[in-house]
Amino acid sequence: MDLSTNYLGLKLKNPLVPSASPFSENLDNIKIMEESGASAVVFHSLFEEQIINEAENFHHHITFGTESFVEATSFFPEPQDFHIGIENYLANLTKAKETVSIPVIASLNCKSLGSWTDFAKEIEKTGVDALELNIYNIPTNFDLSPQYIEDSYLNIIKKIRSEINIPIAVKLSPYFNNMAYMAKKISEAGANGLVLFNRFYQPDIDIETLKMKTTLSLSTSVENRLSLTWIGILYDNITADLAATSGIHKTEDVIKLIMAGANVTMMCSALLKNGIPYLKIIEKELKEWLEEHEYHSLKQMHGSMSKKKSHDGKAFEREQYIHTIQNFSN
């Protein structure tokens, strides 16, 4: 069975791609991903804030208390060349690329335009196959207009596109005034793919300690509906490839999203829950399902249930909502 697919110009043997997660911090895990059938891997994210905080804290702690007391004008040996900033990330990325033969996609999460482009250029030099930009921004400024935010997204993408040559994917949140418009604009700005959608880690409250909890909760299959909706709508309407992420746990989820129009399906929670070798099961079940249902290749069903190609394209629109409510009431 031919499970191959194309994503960001890369020819992949199947649509199963582990998304950015702490797994890929360990190179052994990346090797296991490859052995378990992953067709590509998204390397863990480089967070600009993390780099900045690390540098700031390091600098603060190495200078704090110095030149204050005559007998102890410093507390650490004279600093040599520290590997602060993205050096470690780049070194690990290079090693990852050397470790596996499947494509490695870097993931970058920044907040300022200068850093996005600087880091992107450094990442490209490692020889990775593509770059996923994780534009994760929760605006809390009550005076910031939506137009400003949308423009800043597009500026980032255009700027990076002009600076690097490797394919770019953009991982997005669904919270735009007009998702279709933004997807089209991002595609036009030079993105080779869209990754839909980012899961936000929302805070929780510990009612005993009266503190905020920031624990990570794993996704469930229900959550892939949002991705399915928008992939179905966007398929064949924009030039960028589409990657589905969030809530992909079962083979059935993979099939649905490919049918909706995803080029690849990305998994994180499922692997955290079941272990990396779970990929093997998914791949096997996917192959069996396609065979059972007499598909000759994965591509045959790609986009088959999208808004454009399905017999019931209205299911992606508001009318279907009303229909659903009525059915529920009945």
Nearest-approach distance from CB 209 to another protein, in angstroms: 8
Retrieve residue 16's tokens.
């199963």
- Tell me, what amino acid is at 115? S
User: Angle between the 87-99 and 113-125 helix axes, to the nearest 10 degrees?
Assistant: 40
Nearest-approach distance from CB 98 to another protein, in angstroms: 16
Q: Kindly tell me which of 57 and 178 has the beta carbon lying closer to another protein.
A: 57
Nearest-approach distance from CB 33 to another protein, in angstroms: 21
Nearest-approach distance from CB 35 to another protein, in angstroms: 23
Q: Kindly tell me which of 62 and 226 has the beta carbon lying closer to another protein.
A: 62
Nearest-approach distance from CB 207 to another protein, in angstroms: 11
Spatial CB neighbours of 308, under 8 Å, sequence gap ≥ 6 = 235, 236, 237
Nearest-approach distance from CB 208 to another protein, in angstroms: 10
Strand order across the 16-18 sheet: 16-18, 264-267, 241-244, 193-196, 168-172, 130-134, 104-109, 41-47
Q: Kindly tell me which of 112 and 177 has the beta carbon lying closer to another protein.
A: 112
State how far the Cα of 13 lies from the Cα of 38, in Å rounded to an integer: 8
Q: Kindly tell me which of 66 and 145 has the beta carbon lying closer to another protein.
A: 66
Q: Kindly tell me which of 58 and 289 has the beta carbon lying closer to another protein.
A: 58
Name the residues that contact another protein, by CB under 8 A.
Answer: 51-52, 54-85, 88, 118, 209-211
Q: Kindly tell me which of 52 and 166 has the beta carbon lying closer to another protein.
A: 52
State how far the Cα of 218 lies from the Cα of 199, in Å rounded to an integer: 10
